[in-house]
Amino acid sequence: MLTMSLTDSGSDHGSSWLSDRWPVILLSVCWAVVAYWINPERNVPLNDDWSYALSVEALLRTHTLRLTDWQSATLVVQLFWGALFCLFFGFSITVLHLSTLTLSVAGIFGLHGLLRHLGGDRRVATLGAAVLAFNPYYIHLSHSFMTDIAGLTLMVWSMLLLLRGLDSDRNGEIAAGLIVALLATFVRQLGLMVFIAFAVAYPIRRGFDRRWLLLAVLPTILAAGALSAFERFLIHIGELPGLYHAKSKDVKAVIGDLLHFRLGALRNPIYVTFQLLIYVGLACLPFSLMMVSSALGRFTPSGRKLALGGVIAFTVALTFGLSLVGKIMPIASNLLNDPGLGLRSLPGILPPAPRAYWMVWTALAVLGMSLTLPILFAYARDLWLRRAEITQPESEQEAEGRFQLWHLVFLAIVTVLCYGPMAFSYAPFFDRYTLVFLPLLLAILVSLGAGRPACMSFPCGWMGLAILLAFAGFGIVATRDYLAWNQIRWEAAERFQKERGLAPEEIDAGFEYNNFHASRARIQGEWIHKPGDDGLVNRSSLRNRLAFQPLPDHEIVSEVECHPWLPFGIKRIYLLTRKADTSASPKPEPSAPAAAEGR
């Protein structure tokens, strides 16, 4: 088998990650090229970020915290981050998107450092960081003001600082990691999982001593208390969003049903688990393909053939089975849609991409899932066989490049704790929720393979590189198309208003447009929050509308071209007016994909 070593010569492990200039420079240049091709200078809200943008605008205008009902995340740190950028460059949606782009670069560097510390050499760490950077979801969400990127970046950096701090016995670094974890918690509540995991894994490295109580247990209690105090503060100032407890109520409902032995409550967790495996496997596929030779290196030739043959057979069988039951990609909603990326919030059905297109996506996703599992098994098997050789390192120098049990336990607990609220819930599951698991899985794989030489075999490694480049190309083109047609949609709606003398409230231009203008008017006054109320408006009954296709009982006023780069992209948007002589009840309209549920 033709292989190419991925290992640098000499000592090349954790403590030198800050000196890795060239990988960082290369990733920076590549990311700048990605942003240039996409062109983020489009001043339009995307997905749910209209809600968060309004809170930033209110913070800058009134110097007080004002929230809409359309959120369940803590969010406050992201609001101040966006406001900081606006203080220098003025408030605009573009500036808020640029603030997220800045965080996304930090997330890439943070993952590179994390993988280096876990024992990955320069090339493996750079490869892992590139898999995150060029993931289509990461590219897409980096060009928005959604909480996904900010939460992920802060969690990655908190894990890196905590791992380095405890390995080197530096209290300052541990304190920095705890502070960053707290910042992550006040973007999304998932940041609390880092505290819990650190408190559980700490004794494996340092034992149950007084420092464990001071540096791990007490901060976890204080972080949970801070979350509770923040909720009471929001109630006190009358700014607790209506959906703030939506997810926790869903989780409690599932747990309650399971405690009463209603086994039907397991249906959603099982299906969500399957979706997670599919989407995370797809995201990790380039890395898995490049690392499969290293993972299976200690197998006999017949064992490697048997493992890879099983992967191929399972991939073919499951892909065929999913096609028979109509569950080919995309199996979860929100970002990956027909045929590109992003929320499709106008009425009308878009021309579907060919079935073969989605069959390829499905096959790649199943391959990623089925390949990741044997790699994990191979690494775990090797560690078990070498368990007598594995000793607890006494110093940071001894720990460099070696497997450490506490690293694996820490990462595994964070992963399981993030998985729980997503799986054991009746709330809708969105594909973008899987992004946070990508750096966690990459970190677990590198941790398990610490100290082993990495090699890229032909053809698997080169297939992985080709798929990584294909993912990058798709993410760039699909995100560019999404930003472009949204800008055209907003410009068309504003032109429609001026030509007909309409107010923004008199036109139905889609989920983001309608709720941005409606909520902007409300947030400038007194917004009374009601538990369970999402605060959204429905303007589908208005006379003047925008749509992806002509609608029944509507006349076409005009249409605008979108010029997508994707061959099956959105080609035009229609400006419509409802016919005045429709006395009968209106005909049913083609449905658009559901909105993002504010989460």
The predicted pLDDT at position 5 comes to: 45
User: Mean pLDDT lowest for which of 171-180, 220-229, 440-449?
Assistant: 440-449
Q: What is the pLDDT of residues 121-134, one digit of tens each?
A: 888 899 999 999 99
- The predicted model gives 204-215 an average pLDDT of 90
Instruction: Tell me the pLDDT tens digit for each residue of 392-413.
Output: 555 555 555 677 889 999 999 9
Q: Which stretches within 118-191 are classed as H helix?
A: 122-133, 136-142, 147-168, 171-185
Q: What angle do CA 94, 96, 98 make, to 5 degrees?
A: 70
Task: Over range 190-213, report the average pLDDT.
Answer: 93
Pick the more confident residue, 301 or 49.
49
- Mean pLDDT across 534-556: 90
Q: What does the pLDDT look like over 219-229, one tens digit per residue?
A: 999 999 999 99
Burial status of residue 297 (CB atoms within 10 A of its CB: 0-12, 13-18, 19 or more): middle
Least confident of 27-31, 54-58, 139-143, 302-306: 302-306
Q: What is the mean pLDDT of residues 163-184?
A: 95
Q: Per-residue pLDDT averaged across 485-497, rounded?
A: 92
Closest CA to 378 of 268, 467, 315, 300: 300
Q: With left for phi above 0 and alpha for psi between -120 and 50, is residue 121 left, alpha or beta?
A: beta
pLDDT higher than threshold 50 for residue 596: no
Using DSSP bridges, classify how beta strands 455-457 and 3-5 pair: parallel, antiparallel or unpaired: antiparallel
Q: Mean pLDDT over all residues of the chain?
A: 87
Q: Which residue has the higher pLDDT, 598 or 172?
A: 172
pLDDT at 574 over 80: yes
pLDDT, residue 206, reads 87
CA–CA distance, 441 with 462 (Å, rounded to integer): 21
Q: How far apart are CA 150 and CA 101, in angstroms?
A: 9
Lowest mean pLDDT among 9-18, 80-89, 224-233: 9-18
pLDDT band at 597 (very low <50, low <70, confident <90, very high): very low
- DSSP-assigned letter for residue 402: S
User: What's residue 451's pLDDT?
Assistant: 66
Its pTM stands at: 0.92
Lowest mean pLDDT among 179-193, 230-244, 454-468, 554-568: 454-468
pLDDT of residue 378: 80
Give me the pLDDT at residue 273, please.
Answer: 93
CA pair distance 291, 123, nearest whole angstrom = 12
Residue 305 pLDDT: 82
For the chain, what percentages of helix, strand and coil (3-state, to nearest 5) are there?
A: 65, 5, 30
pLDDT-based confidence at 4, cuts 50/70/90? very low
Which residue, chain included where needed, has tokens 């994390």? 114
Residue 457 pLDDT: 66
464, 474, 466, 469: which is closest to 286 by C-alpha? 464
Query: What pLDDT is recorded for position 359?
Result: 94
Q: Is the model's pLDDT at 286 over the cut of 80?
A: yes
Q: Is the pLDDT of residue 98 over 80?
A: yes
If you ran DSSP here, which 8-state letter would residue 330 be given? P
Write the DSSP assignment of 99-112 as a string of letters.
Answer: HHHHHHHHHHHHHH
538, two tokens:
């429905």
Predicted confidence at residue 202, as pLDDT, reads 94
**177 CB-side CA count, 13 A:** 27
* Choice among 280-294, 333-347, 441-455 with the minimum mean pLDDT: 441-455
Token readout for 360 is 């390829």
| Residue extents of the structural domains in the chain | 3-480
Q: Sign of the C-alpha dihedral, residues 480, 483, 489, 490?
A: negative
The DSSP line for 268-300 is HHHHHHHHHHHHHHHHHHHHHHHHHHHHTTTS-
> Distance (Å, rounded) from C-alpha 4 to C-alpha 100?
36
pLDDT in the model for residue 382: 77
**What local confidence, expressed as pLDDT, does residue 391 receive?**
59
pLDDT value at residue 386: 72
